[in-house]
């Protein structure tokens, strides 16, 4: 299926690994030109090499910490021709209210919550001036199904869901689509690390972490490529009536 994305300029934050890299690869397979954003140039170089070797597309990279003040303006200056923005950067620590102190709470929100908001604020007017563009926010199921054991992330994700719905409901008036995707636990180095910690606590053996996935829908975590392919399709002209919606990708667990 031709998604009509050839030569589209796509910026992916948190694009050097995990879901972000999978999204960049998915777009590149459709002929789009991804720009990967992450804090570490070495990881970006490795990601760009993978995109080139697997798709033949030469990706661009920008090393930048989006949690820093003014970073969104700096990044937007590199994205004057951007067609699609994928907000994906950010990791929020687990724990209940008493586990996560104010410093960690604010620090994680600077990247995941305010990072999305600030970059969107900079990019949206560029897209509005051209009467076209797509902004996709990769959020997380904890926003739709809050958990006390992940209260900081649940609260940030819930805010991003509201942000996406509010903005996407009106952005279409200027030709811009804004939507979100809520992945459930998705296979990655970070997720494996979290499950190892849980297995160490539950079983006194971090090597038993895979046992924690057997009760998930389909007996496994989601694959990064599954989230990536959905994102790519929803950003394409074939999904041009989609805006203001946040799609839950949790294997039906929320309604089980």
Nearest CA to 146 out of 110, 111, 182 is that of 182
Residues 107, 170: one domain? yes
What DSSP designation does 66 have? T
Residue 93 maps to a domain:
yes
Say if residue 254's pLDDT is above 80.
no
* Phi–psi pair at 252, nearest 5 degrees: 80, 5
pLDDT at 199: 83
Residues 50, 172: one domain? yes
Residue 256 maps to a domain:
no
pLDDT at 206: 84
Residue 255 maps to a domain:
no
**Averaged over 109-113, what is the pLDDT?**
94
Residues 233, 123: one domain? yes
**Average of per-residue pLDDT values in the chain:** 93
Indicate which residues carry an active-site annotation. Answer: 150
Say if residue 256's pLDDT is above 60.
no
**Averaged over 135-149, what is the pLDDT?**
94
Per-residue pLDDT tens digits for 190-227: 778 878 888 888 888 888 888 888 888 898 989 999 99
Residue 203's domain spans which residues?
Answer: 187-221
Residue 160 maps to a domain:
yes
Residue 29 maps to a domain:
yes
Residue 17 maps to a domain:
yes
Residues 197, 146: one domain? no
Using CA atoms, how far residue 86 sits from 24, 33, 224, 253, in Å, is 9, 13, 15, 25
pLDDT at 211: 81
Residue 206 maps to a domain:
yes
Residues 38, 66: one domain? yes
pLDDT at 31: 98
Distance CA 64, CA 14 (A): 10
> Model-level pTM greater than 0.85?
yes
Residues 24, 122: one domain? yes
Residues 20, 86: one domain? yes
**70: domain CATH number?**
3.40.50.720
Say if residue 94's pLDDT is above 70.
yes
Residues 115, 237: one domain? yes
Residues 153, 85: one domain? yes
Say if residue 76's pLDDT is above 80.
yes
Residues 174, 202: one domain? no
Residue 3 maps to a domain:
no
Structural domain count of the chain: 2
Residues 23, 148: one domain? yes
**Residues with Cβ < 8 Å from 255, sequence gap 6 or more?**
none
Say if residue 255's pLDDT is above 80.
no
- Edge-to-edge strands of the sheet including 60-63? 60-63, 33-38, 9-13, 84-87, 133-138, 176-183, 246-249
Per-residue pLDDT tens digits for 17-58: 999 999 999 999 999 999 999 999 999 999 999 999 999 999
Residues 193, 109: one domain? no
């Amino acid at each position: 299926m031709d998604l009509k994305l050839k030569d589209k300029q796509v910026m992916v934050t948190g694009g050097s690994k995990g879901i972000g890299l999978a999204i960049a690869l998915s777009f590149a397979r459709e002929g789009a030109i991804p720009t990967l954003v992450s804090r570490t140039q070495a990881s970006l170089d490795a990601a760009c090499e993978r995109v080139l070797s697997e798709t033949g597309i030469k990706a661009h990279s920008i090393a930048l910490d989006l949690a820093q003040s003014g970073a969104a303006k700096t990044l937007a200056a590199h994205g004057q021709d951007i067609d699609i923005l994928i907000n994906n950067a950010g990791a929020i620590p687990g724990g209940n209210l008493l586990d996560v102190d104010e410093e960690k709470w604010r620090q994680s929100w600077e990247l995941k919550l305010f990072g999305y908001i600030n970059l969107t604020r900079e990019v949206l007017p560029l897209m509005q001036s051209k009467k076209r563009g797509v902004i996709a926010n990769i959020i997380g199921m904890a926003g739709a199904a809050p958990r006390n054991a992940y209260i900081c992330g649940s609260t940030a994700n819930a805010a991003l869901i509201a942000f996406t719905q509010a903005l996407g409901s009106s952005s279409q008036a200027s030709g811009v689509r804004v939507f979100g995707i809520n992945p459930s636990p998705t296979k990655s180095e970070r997720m494996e690390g979290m499950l190892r910690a849980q297995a160490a606590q539950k079983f006194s053996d971090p090597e038993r972490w895979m046992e924690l996935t057997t009760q998930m829908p389909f007996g496994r975590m989601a694959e990064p490529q599954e989230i990536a392919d959905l994102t790519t399709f929803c950003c394409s002209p074939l999904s041009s009536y989609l805006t203001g919606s946040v799609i839950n990708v949790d294997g039906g667990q929320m309604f089980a």
